[in-house]
Structure 1
Amino acid sequence: MENQNLNNPIIFFSVIQKKMEREEDKKSYLTSALIQIPPENEAVSNNGINEVRRKKIIWAEVKKQVWLAGPLTGVSLFQYSIQMISVMLVGHLGELPLSAASMASSFATGTGFSLLVSMSLIYIHVLCLFVFSLFFFLK
């Protein structure tokens, strides 16, 4: 009887939501803010000790975010610099080759965007397979 009720998507997702809520109760650290805001009476201090502590916390958070986003930023800069350098080198040949290289670079970038959109559709497919396999896991 219970397995047939899970065929209904509303019941299925409510069961998943209940299981996730139980897991969230166990792992409250996942939902807590990364930068903790001190109470108002601690925020104002005469000697600046809490201000130094606050700056250390913020600096630690900045380091974490740079560590996570640094590779992505670096890859984006290097990809853009490759396109820019290739167009600059072709620019020494004349106006017509420069315009052709610029248009080809723009076309390649647009085609790459289309490729990324198609890849995102593949990821959606993988996500659907994950949910489908989760359905059998709950049985």
Structure 2
Amino acid sequence: MELDIERIRAFFMKDRFATNAGVVIDSVTKEEVQCSMPITSEHLNAAGTVQGGAIFTLADLTFGVHSNLRLFLGENAGITVGQSISISYLATPKGKRLIARSVCLSSGRNVSVYRVEVRDDLGNFIADMRGNGFTKAV
């Protein structure tokens, strides 16, 4: 079954926090999900750099989309929620946009692990996130 990106986007539009932050779903395959977010003055902290919570929000939505693809593949799966997440901030963004890409490291019936790399549009490695998901039974 092929993934319908418009259906996925419509579902995740209900994630108001990420949507209001400007996060968009760019591309979706079983192997990788890419989301991005423009860097605006709304994303800056008191020091004038991108606030960690803004970076986390982008990475978290990317993880959420990827870990819930089974909902859109016709599988009888419940919703996957974050069980534990670890993020390492590696550099200050220099570009005008942040891009997050996720890959699945392990996916079982109830527990899954994803890695999300966040880079700016200049290619700088900004953050590395690991997310453990738990799929709730339907």
Q: TM-score by structure 2 length? A: 0.24
Larger radius of gyration: 1
TM-score normalised by structure 1 residue count: 0.24
Which structure is richer in relative contact order (CA contacts within 8 A, separation 6 or more)? 2
Higher helix share: 1
Larger fraction in strand: 2
